[in-house]
Amino acid sequence: MAQTGDSFLLRETEDELVRSAQAGNIAAFEWLVSSFERQMLAVAAGFAHTPDDANDIYQDALLAAYRALPNFKLESKFSTWLHKIIVNTALSNRRKLKRTWRH
C-alpha cells in the first residue's frame, strides 16, 4: 500500500499507485500523472494552437481524470486511460470552440 512519502511511492507498481490514488492518496495520483506529463502534453499540443491551449487541455484532462479515477478498472494501463481522456478533452474543447465561433 502506498504511503505519503515519495520514497515509498518509488517502490509501488502502477496498479498499486492507482489503487492508492483511488483510496484518496493525492501524492500517488500526482506521481502517476507526473510520470506521463511530457508525453501527455505532447498529445495535447497536437490538438492545440498555442502552448497555452495545450496546457489548458492538459489541466482540464487531469481534472477529468481525477474525477473519473474511482471508475478506472485497471483493465488497461494508466497511461492509455489518461491518453484517451486527454484526446477526448481536446476534442470536446474543439467542439466548444466551433460552436462559439458560429454564434
Q: How confident is the model at residue 3 (pLDDT cuts 50, 70, 90)?
A: very low
pTM above 0.85, yes or no: no
Hey, what CATH topology would domain 36-103 get? Rna Polymerase Sigma Factor; Chain: A (1.10.1740)
pLDDT in tens, 46-93: 999 999 999 999 999 999 999 999 999 999 999 999 999 999 999 998
Contacts 24+ apart (CB under 8 A), 90-99: 90/43, 90/44, 90/46, 90/47, 90/48, 90/57, 90/61, 91/47, 93/47, 93/56, 93/57, 93/60, 94/47
Q: Where are the domains of the chain?
A: 1-35, 36-103
67, 7 in Cβ contact below 8 A? no
Q: What does pLDDT average to over the chain?
A: 87
